[in-house]
Structure 1
Amino acid sequence: MNKPLEGIRVLDCSQFLSAPSAGLKIADLGAEVIKVEKKGSGDICRQLYVSNFKIDNDSSLFHAINRNKQGLELNLKEASAQQSFQALVKTADVVLVNFRPSVAKKLKLDADSIHQINPKIVYGEITGYGEASPWSSWPGQDLLVQGMSGICYLNGDKEQAPLPFGLSMADLAAGEHLCQGVLAGIFNAQQTGKGCVIQTELLTSLMDLQFESFTTFLNNGNELPVRSGFHNANPYIDAPYGIYETKNGHLAIAMCPIEKLAELLDYPELTAFMASHSVEHDSDEIKRMLQAKLITQTTEDWLAILEPADIWCTKVLDWQQMEQAGLFEELHMKQTIISSDGTPFYTTRCPIRINGEIFTSPKGAPTLGEDNLNFGIKET
């Protein structure tokens, strides 16, 4: 089948992770995504290493985010490059940026400048904190945004310091939200013939991820949630909810009546404890008792008892165990990409299916300026 966004042209003028990840999703759905990079150095993400692993002398992170795109190298401070870029804007449907507002305006990448050239453009922008907020000039860096957003107080146990996520959650969430907004903008432009400006911020995206918890907080006298003092997994969900160490690994257990769990675990001490206690007031002590019991046998032993009884539980896997368990193969989550220099490597696929079809593409990230000549750009 044809991909749904075939015929859509996107100029991805963004860098790092947030907006480029939106461009990646749009490319996987069939759009022609052209990555526009600064002459000489390109996207700083090319040299932003999350490990010591590189592909074709660029960061593996850059390849993961910018596969399936074409690449242009332009010095937008020069008139000739601006002419070439503006000619592309006339043919495009979407422009993506994630610069600070002052930088975008200096490079004529702000929404007003773009819409003067092509009023039908869907202009997608991510900033750290919004244009008019008191923090608009602050660095839009993921860890800093996590620290501001309150999300770090949902992780870790009660006595621990605030704990950030082990992923760039602000960047990833904002990229997903920008993608959603741009798709709505494309639909609107096709219906009305008019472009629009789609905006989100790293901070608002992380706040949106917490909408369940914030709804409770905002309607409950602004009372802060209290993290469990032992094996916290969600400050609003009581025992047994959490991850427990077993004799040979770890076991995750979700919501379940403690009395039923005590019976299945053959744990009369817990049954007796529950006769005079409750999960609302004694959640940490219940978790400690469960931990003392669960560590006496292997994960597989407990799964053999709990799964047939329809207890929501699972073995906690690391990445190697995920691979060994066949998760990548069974879900077809691994695809082979060929870099511009011919190097094959693995990455994940687009998680969206349409009519049962999985979308993949072997096209890797472009080398800096790889497609300049294909677009008739000789001098930048």
Structure 2
Amino acid sequence: MDRNFDRRAFIKAASAAGIVGLAGCAGGPSEGESTATTAGEDTTEGDEETTAAGTGSGTDEETTATDGSVDGSDVNIAMVYATGGLGDGSFNDQAETGIERAVDEFGLSYQYSEPDSVSQFAEYQQQYASSTDPNYDLVSCIGYLQSDALAETAAQYPEQDFMIVDSVPTTESGDMFDNVAAYTFQEHEGSYLVGQMAGMLTNMDFAAGAGETSPDESVVGFVGGVEGSLIGRFEAGYRAGVAAVDSDIEVQSTYVGSYSDPSGGREAAQAIYESGADVVYHAAGNTGTGVFQAAQETNKFAVGVDRDQSVTLPDYANVILGSMVKRVDTAVFEASEAVVDGSFEGGTAVTLGLEDDGVSLVYGSELGSEIPSEVKTAVDEARQSIIDGEVTVPTDPAEV
């Protein structure tokens, strides 16, 4: 069942920054676990986002809401992150920003786990679901690769509430699980804007920071994590945006097969840059860090994903033109808020796109001001055309 997105919750979350300062809580998985509760101070300056990964103190601390909002101090939430773990400056860190903000606003407690492989998802999900000390009010599953495991777990624990990002698990009959809320995004829409920017810049004589284009080449690239329908939406939107600028621009793409292989990302991007690409866009989690390394080594440009990676990975800000931000933090925060105020609904699916600011192109903190105004104007116009329904963005790279 679809439902309208809570715009009030989104607007609040869209202005939120990461929170630092973690302490511990008890219960949940017995192996490979990390714990976190209670809000620390907001150390964000300007538009920068800060996160803390795996820095729990291991002490128990009762928490209460710090801003006079609904008290969620008796709420416990479990986070099962995607492979690649915290500190990726991208997908998992964006999810962490959402739960940290919920801690800050409501005083809830949470515990998190960082699986090393897909095979561990079911283990962590089920250990949280079966925990009695504490009982978890919600188990948040970050990433579409958890979908199969969650379909099994949700059926085994019908009284446990879950949320998942990037997938809508269904029963054998094709129905949603009554105890699962799903959040998906229109990644192809935001990626179309990235393609517009990359396509225009590769046809220009453009230099900024540590990068420069070779306009005679007219080549751009894409590096994906694990090949499939989700990352295919990133590639499809990107290709369509490039083609809308100039159908003669060559788009080279490759998939590394992992979201946690920076060296593989570096090797893949290097090959694309060496074949003439000026800009490489990645949708590869921590693997994308290697794309930024290759951009610096070849004096070219890159585009990040999920968070403003010019801020989360500042060492590469001099080659990051922008990032296709995906508000995973909003999904995590909204689900947590719903648990606190008693409005959580399983069996629901929320999809966020450009119109909801669920995805967007954010220009890099260092290079954004250098991008020509004509490029930004074209991107703005494309964004509005998609929102108005004048442009339909494909979801399958084969359609471009």
Question: TM-score normalized by structure 1?
Answer: 0.34
Larger radius of gyration: 1
Question: TM-score normalized by structure 2?
Answer: 0.32
